[in-house]
């Protein structure tokens, strides 16, 4: 049964599809990132110098989702006296000029005149609003936009502007971006000193038994949140390997496949995700877009294991042994004892 023992069969299909879209999983591996954000946030109460952190990870690793999840725990409070914004989240636009970044922050605060005024004017308005709205943490997403795409150069003026924003407001800041964001800090000594704490949000790996269990645990949590009435055993050794093969552990790809598969299952009046449904979802969401012919959900598992990354033969062999042994011996639901 599902996590909350809800009878989803009584719900309209559309309602159930909405539930799939909203799934957000806080896997133990993501907790480390959340803890780092919380640390910065809480230190704003006592620290002389704001504690700042750079969080990097490849596209689809879940950076934005995890940070938005954190922000959602600190809702804005509006009263007659004004609005309190405990955590300010903003996305750095392109081109990342000072004017645009300042406008973006003002817009995120709800300033109806966010795009109006000179750069200097906007900056002063931002300082005032940050104080007035009692902002205690600033999160800036897409930090890699501080590197100009055409010239590949770090935009120094806006980097310096950010450093001054930090000094003037004395509020901790979380920067989020693709791995190359590190280059921006390397090019600006003063910013680098302020962001000496780094955290990497990597995709799942499948090299060691522990990593395989982490990925399977993620699939188990995911399955428990699906609005379906029967178990799909996504975390079974065979299926989880197919998932890893299909996604390289990138969470956005896992979610795409599972979301599409759930829609297909509901349309076909099924209450679980079968291998056939997963194969259809993979074809629709991944194979057709990335021009891949092989479908890991309807391939022979041994063929998959043989064709998987030759650079990590131990992984493949270890996984092969694990899967074969477990396939023989146990009821699939008992393969992984996850509480
Ligand atoms: N913890 C999670 N639980 C459920 N779904 C997630 C989670 N993390 C990411 N996703 C899903 O994966 C997709 C991509 O996530 P997200 O936008 O957070 O990645 P990102 O690392 O910010 O990528 P990019 O660098 O391209 O902006 C989203 O559709 C989101 O729903
Ligand atoms: Mg993102």
Residue 90's beta-bridge partner residues? 140
Ligand in closest contact with the CA of 259: 1
Class in CATH terms, 44-200: alpha beta
At residue 67, what are phi and psi to the nearest 5 degrees? -75, -35
pLDDT at residue 339 tops 80: no
What is the CB < 6 Å shell around ligand 1? 23-25, 30, 57, 59-65, 178, 251-252, 255
φ/ψ of residue 90, rounded to 5: -145, 150
pLDDT in tens, 47-79: 778 899 999 999 999 999 999 999 999 999 999
* Domain positions in the chain: 8-26+205-334, 44-200
Shortest-distance ligand to the CA of residue 144: 1
Q: Cα of 179 to ligand 1 centre, how many Å? A: 15
Task: Using the predicted structure, report yes or no on whether residue 281 has a pLDDT greater than 50.
Answer: yes
Nearest to 235 by CA among 92, 89, 336: 336
User: How would residue 172 be classed by pLDDT, with cut points 50, 70 and 90?
Assistant: very high
Q: How far apart are CA 139 and CA 74, in angstroms?
A: 13
Share of the chain above pLDDT 90, in %: 77
Cβ proximity of 163 and 175 under 8 Å: no
More confident residue, 241 or 9: 241
Task: Check pLDDT > 90 for residue 43.
Answer: no
Question: How many other CB atoms sit within 10 Å of the CB of residue 327?
Answer: 14
**What is the reported pTM?**
0.87
SS3 338: coil
């Amino acid at each position: 049964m599902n996590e909350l023992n809800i009878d989803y069969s009584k719900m309209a299909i559309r309602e159930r599809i909405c539930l799939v879209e909203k799934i957000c999983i806080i896997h133990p591996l993501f907790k480390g990132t959340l803890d780092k954000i919380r640390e910065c946030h809480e230190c704003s109460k006592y620290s002389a110098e704001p504690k700042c952190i750079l969080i990097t990870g490849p596209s689809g690793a879940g950076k934005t989702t995890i940070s938005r999840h954190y922000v959602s725990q600190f809702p804005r409070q509006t009263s007659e006296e004004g609005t309190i914004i405990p955590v300010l989240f903003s996305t750095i636009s392109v081109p990342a000029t000072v004017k645009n970044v300042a406008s973006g922050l003002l817009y995120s605060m709800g300033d109806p005149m966010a795009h109006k005024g000179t750069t200097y004017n906007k900056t002063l308005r931002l300082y005032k609003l940050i104080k007035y709205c009692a902002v205690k943490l600033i999160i800036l997403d897409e930090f890699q936009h501080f590197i100009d795409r055409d010239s590949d150069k770090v935009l120094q003026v806006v980097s310096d502007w950010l450093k001054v924003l930090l000094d003037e407001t004395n509020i901790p800041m979380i920067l989020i971006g693709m791995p190359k964001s590190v280059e921006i800090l390397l090019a600006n000594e003063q910013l680098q000193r302020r962001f000496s704490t780094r955290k990497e949000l990597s995709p799942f790996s499948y090299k060691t038994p522990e990593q395989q269990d982490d990925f399977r645990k993620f699939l188990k949590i995911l399955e428990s949140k699906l609005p379906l009435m029967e178990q799909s055993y996504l975390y079974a050794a065979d299926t989880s390997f197919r998932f890893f093969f299909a996604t390289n552990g990138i969470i956005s790809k896992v979610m795409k496949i599972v979301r599409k598969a759930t829609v297909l299952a509901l349309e076909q009046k099924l209450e679980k995700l079968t291998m056939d449904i997963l194969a259809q979802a993979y074809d629709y969401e991944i194979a057709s877009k990335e021009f891949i012919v092989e479908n890991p959900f309807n391939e022979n598992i041994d063929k998959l294991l043989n064709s998987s990354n030759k650079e990590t033969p131990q992984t493949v062999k270890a996984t092969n042994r694990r899967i074969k042994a477990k396939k023989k011996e146990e009821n699939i639901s008992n393969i992984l004892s996850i509480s």
